[in-house]
């Protein structure tokens, strides 16, 4: 595991974007695993800026997102497909058909999980996976206690996650109760993994995940076992990691 210490969120985003852009330059048809949430937004902004300057070309890049809420249409204001369009895809030259997000409206969610696993496989696997981490150590929607050996699957969201996401919906009742997520196994099969983490509120979980034992109660702790894992954090998030 490699750790890059950044001054602040902007610096963290630039460092992560540097790693991703180097990957795209070296392998123009890179398969990128992508995340939503506040952590990677600055990384996407930096990549967009470099694209607009002419330094990056996404024409051949393929993407697979980690997760999507069950029951939300792709254009719902809180769907992860919409998040990715607004925060990244609409601003770069990636063909829409090269971008993959689980279909939250699939009538048979289990079949959708199987289809998504096949999509990842047919792309030849993930070259580089970008991750954020929840306050309880979740990655994707893999909540504490989930088995490490799962691929894409349907999850029941915990009260903790429903509570954390309620601020984005009109009321708590509107927060979906289920989601589709790539599993820990799918994530661990990526060639390289980059996690962005910022803020003092993440310092305790950063220590638990990366200086503590590898346990399903802290899903991100498994990343310690990945041969090519890069943690890019700002000083506040890394303050309790020795
Ligand atoms: C979203 C995802 C989640 C987030 C996590 C952290 O696609 O994978 O695991 O990375 O909830 O969210 P933020 O970055 O908003 O703190």
| SS3 annotation, the chain | CEEEEECCHHHHHHHHHHHHHHHHHHCCCCEEEECCCCCCHHHHHHHHHHHHCCCCCCCCCEEEECEEECCCCCCCCCCHHHHHHHHCHHHCCCCHHHEECCCCCCCCHHHHHHHHHHHHHHCCCCCEEEECCCCCCCECCECCCCCCCCCCEEEECCHHHHHHHHHHCCCHHHCCCEEEECCHHHHHCCCEEEEEECCHHHHHHHHHHHHCCCCCCCHHHHHHHCCCEEEEEECCCCCCCC
Q: What local confidence, expressed as pLDDT, does residue 159 receive?
A: 87
In a domain, 230, yes or no: yes
User: Is residue 239 situated within a structural domain?
Assistant: no
- Asked whether residue 100 is assigned to any structural domain, the reply reads yes
Distance 148 CA to ligand 1 centre (A): 18
Segments forming the whole domain that contains residue 95: 2-234
Ligand 1, atom 12, residue with closest C-alpha: 37
- Cα distances (angstroms) measured from residue 124 to each of 5, 29, 142, 192: 32, 11, 23, 14
CA of 132 to the centre of ligand 1 (A): 5
Contact between 139 and 133 under an 8 Å Cβ cutoff? The reply is yes
Q: Which residues of 147-173 are buried (b: 16+ CB within 10 A; e: fewer)?
A: ebebbbbebebbeebbebbeeeeeeee
Number of domains in the chain: 1
Residue nearest to atom 8 of ligand 1 (CA): 140
> Does 225 map to a domain?
yes
- How confident is the model at residue 242, as a pLDDT? 76
pLDDT at 165: 84
Cβ neighbors of 79 (< 8 A, separation 6 or more) are 68, 69, 72, 73, 104
Q: Is residue 187 part of a domain?
A: yes
C-alpha 24 to ligand 1 mean position (Å): 23
Q: Ligand 1: which of 34, 43, 132, 155 to mutate, most ligand atoms within 8 Å of CB?
A: 132
Nearest CA to ligand 1 atom 3: 140
Q: What residues does ligand 1 touch, defined as CB less than 6 Å away?
A: 35-39, 66-67, 132-134, 138-140
Q: Give the ligand 1 atom nearest the CA of 142.
A: 9
Rounded Cα gap, residues 218 and 224, in angstroms: 11
- The answer to the question of residue 240 being in a domain is no
Please give the pLDDT value at position 148: 87
Q: Determine the pLDDT at residue 85.
A: 98
Global model pTM greater than 0.85? yes
What string of pLDDT tens digits covers the 242 residues of the chain?
Answer: 999 999 999 999 999 999 999 999 999 999 999 999 999 999 999 999 999 999 999 999 999 999 999 999 999 999 999 999 999 999 999 999 999 999 999 999 999 999 999 999 999 999 999 999 999 999 999 999 988 889 999 999 888 788 888 998 999 999 999 999 999 999 999 999 999 999 999 999 999 999 999 999 999 999 999 999 999 999 999 999 97
Q: Is 95 contained in some domain?
A: yes
Give the pairing of strands 2-6 and 229-234: parallel
Instruction: Kindly give the number of the ligand 1 atom that is closest to the alpha carbon of 196.
Output: 14
Question: Is residue 241 domain-resident?
Answer: no
Helix pair 41-52, 80-87: axis angle to 10 deg: 40
Q: Which of 138, 142, 151, 165 is catalytic?
A: 138
Structure tokens belonging to residue 156 = 């029941």
Which member of 112, 127, 143, 234 is catalytic? Answer: 143
Tell the residue nearest (CA) to atom 10 of ligand 1: 132
* pLDDT for position 8: 98
What is the distance in angstroms between the CA of the first residue and the CA of the last residue of the chain?
13
Domain harbouring 120, CATH code? 3.40.50.1360
């Amino acid at each position: 595991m490699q750790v890059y210490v950044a001054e602040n969120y902007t610096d963290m985003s630039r460092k992560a974007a540097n790693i991703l852009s180097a990957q795209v330059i070296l392998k123009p048809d890179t398969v990128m695993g992508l995340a939503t949430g506040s952590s990677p937004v600055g990384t996407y902004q930096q990549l967009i800026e470099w694209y607009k300057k002419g330094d990056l070309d996404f024409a051949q890049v393929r993407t697979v997102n980690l997760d999507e809420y069950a029951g939300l249409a792709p254009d719902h204001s809180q769907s992860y497909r919409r998040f990715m369009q607004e925060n990244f895809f609409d601003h770069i030259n990636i063909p829409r058909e090269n971008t993959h997000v689980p279909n939250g409206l699939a009538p048979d969610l289990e079949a959708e999980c199987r289809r998504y696993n096949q999509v990842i496989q047919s792309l030849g696997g993930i070259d580089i996976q970008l991750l954020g981490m929840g306050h309880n150590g979740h990655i994707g929607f893999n909540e504490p206690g989930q088995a490490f050996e799962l691929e894409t699957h349907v999850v029941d969201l915990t009260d903790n996650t429903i509570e954390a996401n309620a601020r984005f919906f009109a009321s708590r009742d509107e927060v979906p109760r289920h989601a589709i997520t790539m599993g820990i196994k799918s994530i661990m099969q990526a060639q390289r993994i980059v996690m962005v983490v910022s803020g003092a509120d993440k310092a305790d979980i950063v220590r638990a995940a990366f200086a503590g034992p590898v346990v399903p109660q802290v899903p991100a702790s498994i990343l310690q076992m990945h041969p090519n894992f890069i943690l890019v954090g700002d000083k506040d998030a890394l303050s309790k990691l020795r």
